[in-house]
Amino acid sequence: MADKAGPLKETFPHPPRLSDAFLEEVEKVVGSADLKTSEAELIAHSRDFWPLSQIWFLKGKIPALPEAVAYPESTQEVAKIVKLSAKYNVPIVPYGGGTGVLGGAVPLFGGLVVDIKKMNEILEVNDKSLLVKVQAGINGWRYEEALNSLGYTGGHIPQSLPSSTVGGWIACRAAGQFSTKYGKIEDLVVSVEAVMPDGKVVKSKTVPRSSTGPRLEQLLLGSEGILGIITEATLHIFPFPEKRVLLSFAFDELERPLEAVRKILRRGFFPAVVRIYDEAEVSLHFRNLKELEGKSLLLFVLEGDAKLTDLEAEVVAEECRKEGGSFNGEEPVKHWLKTRFDVHLLAEMVKAGAVIDTIEIATTWDKATELYHRTIESLQAVDGTVHASGHFSHFYQDGACLYLTFGGFPTSPEEYYWQAWGAVMETTLKLGGTISHHHGVGLVRAKWIHEELGEYFEVLKKIKSAIDPLKIFNPGKLGWGE
């Protein structure tokens, strides 16, 4: 059993749930080297990248400590652990890269963290059908690098790529920076294998399409660990792009690049990366490019088949010109490509006492600019805000994702944090947008999930109760999963 970490205080204290008998049985499954109870392991698995928990952490406070961490190496080991958890009524929290930003991986009720990072093999590459089968714990960066070296791309490049896992992408319903062309994780996943709360292993078939009832993948996409532990997945891959074109355009008003992108997609072209920055984000991220001052910036990465990419570049330029965009070369895109995984500034600011967070929401085109203006205003109206900005990314024929960044140096950080979140969530709900585009629910959004889902919330609770009657899978998460 773990020695309770000395000076650390838990935000969510909980009575112990593990017995020596349980640990002994788990140890028999994974081996003693893969069952950890050291203080360092427990602290490492006490949280994810949730900014509020980082603030707590700097004050010597952590969200909640697990009691042990197991590193299974196979689906069968996961299944055995789950059966033991059911037998001993022990909460289980599946853990991938721990890069979630909403507290979804916090072991609220203690228990056992099942870290899947040792299940990290690429099992099969099917060139003819452009599919790859992997264990769910494979690291995102390693996954993409391995595919690149074989002549493919996975097409899923979230900011968390260096640390996140394929299983985490699925469980948290992720979307990557190249999603406008390659799709979000639900478009990329073809089949999954998972361990359910009763310890049974379920699989879906690797087929291009099936009309045999609701799909298993769809039950697990966005389930954030409360319905099953994903152990394997088969995903689409794509030929490594034959050609890549970088384009940027500057506009006087945010509405114009939105219109340009809407029309490009309406014509049936899907650029891989599309990003529209407002004036405040331009001055934050592109301050070295003086000509962009006071402008909105639209970036594109076009890639794929050479002929298609050339035509896409022509159409993109045509539609941007029509909306009054002035061509601004490759430089801003190169700058973005170079800095896109860099989050060190945020960490520095938090250490300096700032509260900083990002909120991603989405809506249809007809409400996009209103959602932008109203949410920015709502953030600016919160006492303590010194920065509120937004960019649009992840575009669809019917709408787009708005990614907001806010920050302040408030006297009461925690109060400010919830006020800022509340302002955006309530404004979004009022305007009919969705409260999360791709970060998920975790602990933070649990407060608003009922209003987001309406009566369907009760249906999900019934499904959760039917599948996990003991409530041992990541308890306390997702609002409806308590």
Exposed/middle/buried for residue 182 (C-beta within 10 Å: 0-12, 13-18, 19+): buried
Closest approach, Cβ 256 to its own copies, in A, equals: 15
How long, in residues, is the chain? 482
- 311 or 381: CB nearest its own copies: 311
Closest approach, Cβ 194 to its own copies, in A, equals: 9
Contact between 381 and 391 (Cβ < 8 Å): no
Taking the C-alpha atoms of residue 351 and residue 347, their distance in angstroms, rounded to an integer, is 6
Q: What is the DSSP letter of 402?
A: E
Closest approach, Cβ 458 to its own copies, in A, equals: 7
Residue 176's closest CA among 273, 241, 288? 273
Contact between 44 and 93 (Cβ < 8 Å): no
- 175 or 229: CB nearest its own copies: 175
Taking the C-alpha atoms of residue 373 and residue 381, their distance in angstroms, rounded to an integer, is 12
**Dihedral, CA of residue 126, residue 129, residue 130 and residue 135, to nearest 10:** -50
Closest approach, Cβ 452 to its own copies, in A, equals: 5
- 42 or 401: CB nearest its own copies: 401
Closest approach, Cβ 99 to its own copies, in A, equals: 14
- 314 or 348: CB nearest its own copies: 314
Q: Which residues, listed in sequence order, are joined to residue 401 by a DSSP beta bridge?
A: 362, 393
Contact between 365 and 400 (Cβ < 8 Å): yes
Closest approach, Cβ 289 to its own copies, in A, equals: 30
Q: Specify the DSSP element, H or E, that contains 247.
A: strand 243-251
- 52 or 102: CB nearest its own copies: 102
Sequence-distant (6+) residues with CB within 8 A of 150 are 125
- 5 or 467: CB nearest its own copies: 467
Closest approach, Cβ 37 to its own copies, in A, equals: 32
Residue 324, both tokens: 């009054």
- 54 or 204: CB nearest its own copies: 204
